[in-house]
Amino acid sequence: MPVIRVALPLPLRQHFDYLLSAEQQVQIGSRLRVPFGKRELIGIAWQLNPADHYPLAQLKPIIAIIDPQPVLTEPLRQLLTFAAEYYHHPLGEVLTAALPALLREGKSLADYQQYAWQLTAAGAGATTADFKRSPRQLALWQALQPGSLAATELLANHPRKALQQLAEKGLIQQQLLPLTPFSQRGLKQPALQLTADQALAVTAINQTANRFQCLLLEGVTGSGKTEVYLQAIAPLLDTGQQVLVIVPEIGLTPQTLARFQSRFQAPVLCWHSNLTDTERLNCWRQTQAGSAAIVIGTRSALFLPFARLGLIIIDEEHDQSLKQQDGFRYHARDLAIKRAAIESCPILLGSATPSLESLYNCQQQRFIPLSLHNRAGGQAMPRYKLVDLKQQVLQFGLASQTLQSIRQQLQQGLQVMLFLNRRGFAPALSCQECGWMTECHRCSAFTTYHKQSRQLVCHHCGATKAVPRQCKQCGSARLAPVGQGTEQLEENLQQLFPEVAITRLDRDTTRRKGALNSALQSINQSGPRLILGTQMLAKGHHFPFVTLVVIVDVDGALYSSDFRAPEQLAQLLTQVAGRAGRGSSPGTVLLQTHHPEHALLQDIIHNGYASFARSALLERQQTRLPPYQHLALFRAEAVQSALCQQWLTELAAIAKTLPGLELLGPLSSPMEKRAGKFRWQLHLYSSQRPLLHQALTTLLATLQSWALSRQVKWQLDVDPVDLS
């Protein structure tokens, strides 16, 4: 009997063999339902009749073949095989992570085919008089007069009950809507006039069509990177090719989607976690059929099954959100480059503050560098000013110089943006008698005070509890907020500027569906306004009426044990500052700090991000840190700290015997305890990537047999971006 090797969604680094009957035909990449112990699992057919399969007598037959055709195409299988090997993650989990939830659950694609509605002969012969008593039925009947419409489109604008009533009367009927490659071509709106830099970039991108090439588009904030994307895409759509655009945050997707949809006739779809499972599967099916011309999505859009992929664009390629931080810890930018190589298409990375890894790849001539030196509308770049907080009396955390500048801008009818990367009312509550502070009992962190919800919230593990009435240590009722968060800053600004509209953008104010879009629409209206928020403000938004940006607290990130912290701070400062002066009025950026002499601040202010990046790369080279060395990180978590230390110590002892490795640790994580577990790390460095991966393969094969490995929760992170 034939044997089929199946990849199952299990945290085990092995495949499983099953029997096929003689009449069963299965294609590699299709889903199968198989028995596994007392359960049934959905797996992926991976290899037919492997030479090293188990004896037939030990094998069970599969239960069912779900797909007549593969759900994972050959290019995707190549990409996912590479990803499983590179990130040393179980293949079964990698494969299933690439599928929409409904396919992971074993649902049949046939059950989710798209349908359209059209008028029957009786419906075509009806008149408006037939719907005198039902305006909703009339509106639906009129909508179908030009021809058939997709069910999803109808239900978006008309009630389901009216649809059912017309169907029961025999006036409309359903028909299968076949998915075909998109045929809509051309532009809805004319393209904008390009600057010389933009035109050179578009030409360079177009010259790489139909072959693999990685390009890095470094453009100052407001330089028109999106217009370069749009004009590079247009000729590809004319030849029927598809485009994938990956953005780092869901919040950026709606505004990017709207701009693309207003430019192109061809269908533009979105992909992110806020969609329902059915919406995600519909996007997946349309991408596979070639019906979707452009897909704009977050990192998992990388795994969509494009029929004719012609270009991949990674916007804000430096953003940490592109790295998956749990489970299958892949980096969407790096895997997208591999996918472009497999698909033989170009990939364009865009950012005003490129990652040091990408700049290093330009130096090594692996990437083609493209630059946009000036803002597209000719506006000047914002001017930086340092506000020295030493020996100043602050009002609500703001210096008198800062408040004076804010008042001047508001009096001129302009907008001011204040950046504070701490949500909530205050980072903690403190006892005024003994100094006790509210802490999370599960993490090495203070609990943030949220005044509106009257809760203490740990922003690391999510634990919440009511605000205490008295100190847990001395019993005093004198508890007061320590420090300032965006919620408190908003309250204070309302006191200082009672007549001015205030918009706060952070995770707390944008939880409701549509809240972010509503806030952005209000910001894009002229008139005096205060805008405040966290790093959500830095993510590529265009605020045409903002002329002053205030970075309330620069110092929090100046001194960190993470070697990436200076790079991330420089990127954040540059991105936030880039929101100023994008309209007709010049922009200014005020940086409040107790350390105005700090070298990083001085470099950013006087020389810009590009100069900082050059010096940062030189420093990384001298200290033998990535990208000049390759890094992998083992993390261990347990209820007892000693178990983590012991497990990593034994791992380090073996790693020291392997060639080409340098070790740092074991050491406790910067946040020693999170969610009730102690956390330790072991860093493995190597100047040769193959040696690092050989060592990881050896270590993984060894540690899985240890009894101690079952007492700690451990993870391997290849090319980590977060060392906390």
Annotated binding residues, written as ranges, equal 431, 434, 440, 443, 458, 461, 471, 474
The answer to whether position 518 is within a domain reads yes
Annotated binding residues for Zn(2+), written as ranges, equal 431, 434, 440, 443, 458, 461, 471, 474
> According to the model, what pLDDT value does residue 87 have?
97
Q: Kindly report the pTM of this predicted structure.
A: 0.90
The answer to whether position 466 is within a domain reads no
The answer to whether position 394 is within a domain reads yes
The answer to whether position 444 is within a domain reads no
The answer to whether position 188 is within a domain reads no
Look up residue 446 and give its DSSP letter: B
Number of domains observed in the structure of the chain: 5
Residues 70 and 102 in one domain: yes
| Backbone conformation region of residue 500, classed left if phi is above 0, alpha if psi is from -120 to 50, else beta | beta
Residues 594 and 662 in one domain: no
The answer to whether position 220 is within a domain reads yes
Residue at which a domain ends, from 92, 111, 130: 111
* Residue 33: CATH number of its domain: 3.40.1440.60
DSSP string, 572-640: HHHHHHTTTT-SSS--EEEEEES-TT-HHHHHHHHH-HHHHHHHHHHHHHHTT-TTSSEEEEEEEEESS
Strand stretches in 373-427, DSSP E: 383-388, 415-419
Residues 271 and 400 in one domain: no
Q: Please report the sign of the dihedral spanned by the C-alpha atoms of residue 419, residue 424, residue 427, residue 433.
A: positive
Nearest to 709 by CA among 717, 718, 700: 700
Residue at which a domain ends, from 111, 145, 165: 111
Strand-pair category, 172-176 with 415-419: unpaired
Asked if residues 116 and 355 have their Cβ atoms less than 8 Å apart, the reply is no
Residue 139's domain comprises 115-176
Residues 122 and 247 in one domain: no
* Residue 244: CATH number of its domain: 3.40.50.300
Residues 398 and 518 in one domain: yes
> According to the model, what pLDDT value does residue 253 have?
65
The answer to whether position 390 is within a domain reads yes
Residues 324 and 211 in one domain: yes
Beta carbons within 8 Å of 300's beta carbon, 6+ residues apart: 97, 98, 271, 273, 332
Residues 63 and 95 in one domain: yes
Beta carbons within 8 Å of 21's beta carbon, 6+ residues apart: 1, 61
- Give the pLDDT means over successive 10-residue stretches in the chain (724 positions): 92 90 90 94 93 88 93 95 96 93 92 84 87 88 82 80 89 84 91 95 96 96 93 96 92 78 93 89 94 94 96 96 94 98 98 96 97 86 91 88 93 92 88 89 89 88 89 88 89 92 86 78 87 81 88 82 89 89 85 91 92 94 95 96 95 95 93 91 96 96 90 95 88
> According to the model, what pLDDT value does residue 252 have?
63
- Strand, coil or helix: what is 265? coil
Residues 142 and 32 in one domain: no
pLDDT one-digit tens code per residue, 179-231: 889 988 999 999 999 999 999 999 999 999 999 999 999 999 889 999 999 99
> According to the model, what pLDDT value does residue 111 have?
84
Residue at which a domain ends, from 81, 111, 141: 111
* Residue 646: CATH number of its domain: 3.30.70.600
The answer to whether position 464 is within a domain reads no
Residues 527 and 582 in one domain: yes
- Strand, coil or helix: what is 310? strand
Please give the Cα distance from 470 to 477 (Å, whole number). Answer: 4
Residues 205 and 273 in one domain: yes
Q: Please report the sign of the dihedral spanned by the C-alpha atoms of residue 661, residue 666, residue 672, residue 678.
A: positive
Residues 212 and 338 in one domain: yes
Look up residue 356 and give its DSSP letter: H
Nearest to 199 by CA among 180, 223, 182, 222: 223
Residues 207 and 97 in one domain: no
DSSP string, 160-187: HHHHHHHHHTTSEEEEE---------SB
